[in-house]
Chains A and B, each alone.
Chain A
């Protein structure tokens, strides 16, 4: 039996599918409203404040900081249960959008991570998609 794997997103969701399709090329994409220049994230068909306005895709440099985080010590998931302790974090990207991710590349996430810490994206490749993760810059 294959080992449990990370749950993967849908590539066909009408709003967020294009985000995930671009990850195959290691592109971290976000949207900007064509009318008001607001950053739109999570991705969707329209800008919230300007309901109905079109949005354009941009590619992030993948650099930002930890807005907040938690180190999960107990998880019942067949994959994540084997990964504890692991850090989930809200990352504020420098372009102005905030996304959930994991912070990896540290031996002891409790001791080594902090709010405000600078991080940079790295990619975990799967067949159809790559998952953006972050490590300390």
Chain B
């Protein structure tokens, strides 16, 4: 731990409470969240000198203009839902190198209001020719069936069961029921049976793409948020305790001939992040792991090093991931994408809830939470995807 660097910290956070936004545009959501995250930090717009933007909702080229800022660092890395973990990694590096002092990350989405059928649409090509997409267009692959293939292969190789996958959904639903914003989200998005779920509930819910059931899948919501990351000098003067970024790793993965789709980009990014941080996975209190689907979490927990490849099914059994159990990290204590919000790119919420836990502000607060990991996955597991791991620590 002695050599661990504390070059940058999350100092301001804000999550849009609504999951069904009436009349706001994504850029408006981004600006509102930024203002409130700055207020949370005790900073002003004029303090921001670096902007990180995933080009969502009309961002990217025009986001500085919309905010009325002239940043010294502009980073528009767009790698799907993992973009915000990449942004956190880049912000930390930019701050450590002296290129920036205060970095702003924002996200805004009206995915539910605009009635996108994200999971069940067929990606049918069109537009700019893309050789990979041109080899996938004719067969009716949906986003969910892509993840389902990873699940089937995991089941085939390791004997993983639907009941084991359901452990992940029941843990995050239990956390969601403690989070009033998540409960409101499920009400606004017309969920049936808004209550803690059982394994039986999950495995008897409607099959969407074998072997994934409805309750193995995340919701489609609106949402937004902002994160402010600052240098140690700035962080010491902020309103809330700093949440230090102590390790970061990035990776890309894709379909390869003879490749293993039960292993994600996280297997490359996690050792880098944990190596930098000087802490081990078994020391982690809070695991904010991208839960687009239950299988995503199972594979990522293995790749993050919480257990060996193939052992995830048995490892999650018995409620290990619940906030009130010893013996494992608490998973997605805000309710996750499965039961709190998933507006398309969930990565920023992983950072937000990790920071809330390390500040002691979560609705499923783990006593004494000191170390968290946030791992974002972008693109599609089992196909081309990205992964970034951020290890976080309180003072």
Asked if A and B are interacting partners, one says yes
Chain A residues with CB under 8 Å of chain B are 6-10, 12-16, 19-20, 39, 41-44, 67-77, 79-80, 83, 85-86, 88-90, 92, 96-102, 110, 114-116, 131
- Contact partner of B140 (CB less than 8 A), chosen from A8, A19, A42, A75, is A75
- Given known contacts A73-B209, A98-B257, A68 and B134 CB-to-CB distance under 8 angstroms: no
- Contact partner of B207 (CB less than 8 A), chosen from A16, A73, A115, is A73
A39 to B208, CA, bound (A): 34
Task: List, in ascending order, chain B residues with CB within 8 A of A86's CB.
Answer: 140
Task: List, in ascending order, chain A residues with CB within 8 A of B144's CB.
Answer: 70, 72, 74
Nearest to B140 among chain A residues (CB) is: A80
Could you tell me the distance in whole angstroms from the C-beta of B53 to the nearest C-beta in chain A?
29
- Given known contacts A68-B150, A88-B149, A16 and B135 CB-to-CB distance under 8 angstroms: yes
Query: Does A75 lie within 8 Å of B142, measured CB to CB?
Result: yes
Task: List, in ascending order, chain A residues with CB within 8 A of B212's CB.
Answer: 70
Task: List, in ascending order, chain B residues with CB within 8 A of A88's CB.
Answer: 139-142, 145, 149
Could you tell me the distance in whole angstroms from the C-beta of B48 to the nearest C-beta in chain A?
40
What's the A-B contact tally at a CB cutoff of 8 Å? Answer: 134
Query: Does A98 lie within 8 Å of B259, measured CB to CB?
Result: yes
Task: List, in ascending order, chain B residues with CB within 8 A of A13's CB.
Answer: 129-131, 134
Query: Does B121 lie within 8 Å of A10, measured CB to CB?
Result: no
Could you tell me the distance in whole angstroms from the C-beta of A125 to the nearest C-beta in chain B?
13
Task: List, in ascending order, chain A residues with CB within 8 A of B206's CB.
Answer: 73-74
Nearest to B153 among chain A residues (CB) is: A68
Give a binary string over B122-146; 1 marks a CB under 8 Å from any A CB, 0 the rest.
1011000111101111111110111
Task: List, in ascending order, chain B residues with CB within 8 A of A15's CB.
Answer: 131, 134
Nearest to B141 among chain A residues (CB) is: A88
- Across chains A and B, which 4 residue pairs bring their CB atoms closest together, nearest first? A70-B148, A80-B140, A77-B122, A7-B124
* B318 contacts A by Cβ under 8 Å: no
- Contact partner of A100 (CB less than 8 A), chosen from B139, B151, B207, is B139
* B152 contacts A by Cβ under 8 Å: yes
Other A-B contacts than A71-B209, A72-B145, A96-B257, 4 sampled, CB-CB below 8 A, are A73-B208, A77-B122, A85-B210, A102-B140
- Contact partner of B138 (CB less than 8 A), chosen from A7, A67, A69, is A7
* B5 contacts A by Cβ under 8 Å: no
Nearest to A101 among chain B residues (CB) is: B139
Complex A-B: 11 CB contacts under 8 Å: A9-B125, A16-B134, A20-B134, A43-B131, A71-B210, A75-B120, A76-B117, A80-B122, A86-B140, A100-B136, A115-B152
A7 to B206, CA, bound (A): 27
A15 to B138, CA, bound (A): 17
Nearest to A96 among chain B residues (CB) is: B257
Nearest to B210 among chain A residues (CB) is: A71
Task: List, in ascending order, chain B residues with CB within 8 A of A85's CB.
Answer: 210
- Contact partner of A68 (CB less than 8 A), chosen from B149, B257, B258, is B149
Nearest to B135 among chain A residues (CB) is: A42
Query: Does A9 lie within 8 Å of B156, measured CB to CB?
Result: no
Could you tell me the distance in whole angstroms from the C-beta of A122 to the nearest C-beta in chain B?
14
- Contact partner of A77 (CB less than 8 A), chosen from B124, B136, B255, B257, is B124
* B261 contacts A by Cβ under 8 Å: yes
Query: Does A14 lie within 8 Å of B258, measured CB to CB?
Result: no
Query: Does B148 lie within 8 Å of A44, measured CB to CB?
Result: no
Could you tell me the distance in whole angstroms from the C-beta of B209 to the nearest C-beta in chain A?
5
